[in-house]
Amino acid sequence: MDDPAPETPEPAWAKRFYAVTLFVDDLAKSRNFYRDVFQAPIANEDATSCAFLFPGTVYVNLVTTESAREYIAPAAVGPPGTPARSLLTLQVEDVDAVCERLDALGIEFLSRPADRPWGRIATFADPNGHCWELTD
């Protein structure tokens, strides 16, 4: 995905992509997973959430499922084990090298590194089933 982004006509209503919030069942387990796997700094945290700062100044905010209800009511929070409905993608320098590091952490991959028309990819899920793709 080295293609430059198309120019946005003015005025664009969105300034930038700022954050993604993921609902988690066990905040401590999820916090440790994100800390160890992504090695991103923690921007802020409290008893019900933990936000990591990713490259490009994008935040990945982990929020407990109990607290999530206040953000999305009247919609319901999906139950554990719900089939994946999204895929978050990180561009990395070397997919195979990152996979080797994640293998050492015991991360189970949904798909091992493979070449696709758009690049080399691999996918894995966090402890709550949120799917992540690595691409070069």
CATH classification of the domain holding 57: 3.10.180.10
pLDDT tens digits in sequence order for the chain, 136 residues long:
556 666 656 666 778 889 999 999 999 999 999 999 999 999 999 999 999 999 999 999 999 999 999 999 999 998 888 888 889 999 999 999 999 999 999 999 999 999 999 899 999 999 999 999 999 9
Report the pLDDT value the prediction gives residue 15, as an integer from 0 to 100: 81
Give me the phi and psi of 76, to 5 degrees please.
-95, 150
Same domain as 98, residue 129: yes
Please check whether residues 31 and 68 belong to one and the same domain: yes
Is 5 among the domain residues? no
Q: How many domains does the chain have?
A: 2
State pTM to two decimals.
0.86
State how far the Cα of 96 lies from the Cα of 86, in Å rounded to an integer: 23
Task: Give the phi and the psi of residue 86 in degrees, each rounded to 5.
Answer: -155, 165
Q: What is the 3-state secondary structure (H, E, C) of the chain?
A: CCCCCCCCCCCCCCCCCCEEEEEECCHHHHHHHHHHHHCCCEEEECCCEEEEEECCCEEEEEEEHHHHHHHHCCCCCCCCCCCCCCEEEEECCCHHHHHHHHHHCCCCEEEEEEEECCEEEEEEECCCCCEEEEEC
Question: What pLDDT does residue 96 have?
Answer: 97
Answer yes or no: do 64 and 115 share one domain: no
Are residue 28 and residue 60 in the same domain, yes or no? yes
Position 105 in a domain? yes
CB 136, CB 93: distance < 8 Å:
yes
How much is the pLDDT for 11?
62
- pLDDT score, position 87: 94
Domain span at 59: 16-77
| Nearest residue to 112 (alpha-carbon basis) of 122, 97, 103, 120 | 122
What is the reported pLDDT for 10?
61
Environment class of 130 (CB within 10 Å of its CB; exposed 0-12, middle 13-18, buried 19+): buried
**The pLDDT value given to residue 3:** 60
Position 122 in a domain: yes
